[in-house]
Amino acid sequence: MYTKVEVTSTHTFSARIIHWGFILLYAYGIFKQLDDISELENSELLIFEVIFASIFLIIVIMRYSYMRRFETFLGARESIPSAHKYLAKTIHISMYLCLIILPLSGLLIAALFTQGITDGAVQDLVIEIHGFSADLSYVLIAIHIGAALYSRIKSEGVWTSMVPIWKENKSVTNKKIIKIKNLENKFFEKVEDFFSTPK
């Protein structure tokens, strides 16, 4: 099913620390999220939420600034169709946008609350934006994880460039998986041709 190969490209130690460290921060943010805005009446909790959101925002921006220097499919043993790269980058950027809007909207909720705006159209809108960005981040992160697992099954090398377990030291030889890979590449090539052909 697999033949042994050597993975030549991998993320740096710093990139891995930033990636996995941020995941822990994100998970903690989900775990400690407030159930009701009225909880912000506790001044200590309000200060903590503002500090946490500020740190979260700074780390997201730092992570994006650092990680954008790396190829989207770093570690891939085979060439990746441009359309596939574009799709992956679009999902990555969308994920970062959600993760930036999430603390920004949280800070705005806190700012409005300290001004005595605990409800009403403006506060409701900001809360909706906050909730939507959180929900969308769940979906995009789930897609990201699913794509990573799918890449691992295809033994492309991308998984091993970031994940410290279940290493890809062999390329896939399973005929069904190879067939799926070929169909996938043909699909993305057709997408490229469609958009590159003059109308």
List the chain pLDDT tens, one digit each, 199 residues: 444 444 457 788 888 898 999 999 999 998 988 888 999 999 999 999 999 999 999 999 999 998 888 888 888 888 888 999 999 999 999 999 999 999 999 999 999 999 999 999 999 999 999 999 999 999 999 999 999 999 999 988 888 888 888 887 777 888 999 999 999 999 999 998 888 877 5
Q: CA triplet 192, 136, 133: central angle to 5 degrees?
A: 125
Tokens encoding 111: 């700012």
The confidence score (pLDDT) of residue 131 equals 95
Per-residue model confidence (pLDDT) at position 167? 82
Residue 181: CB atoms within 10 Å: 17
Q: Give pLDDT, residue 199.
A: 59
Q: What's the half-sphere exposure (Cβ side, CA atoms, 13 Å) at 120?
A: 8
Helix/strand/coil for 174: coil
Instruction: For residue 4, list its beta bridge partners.
Output: 170
Two tokens at 181? 């890979």
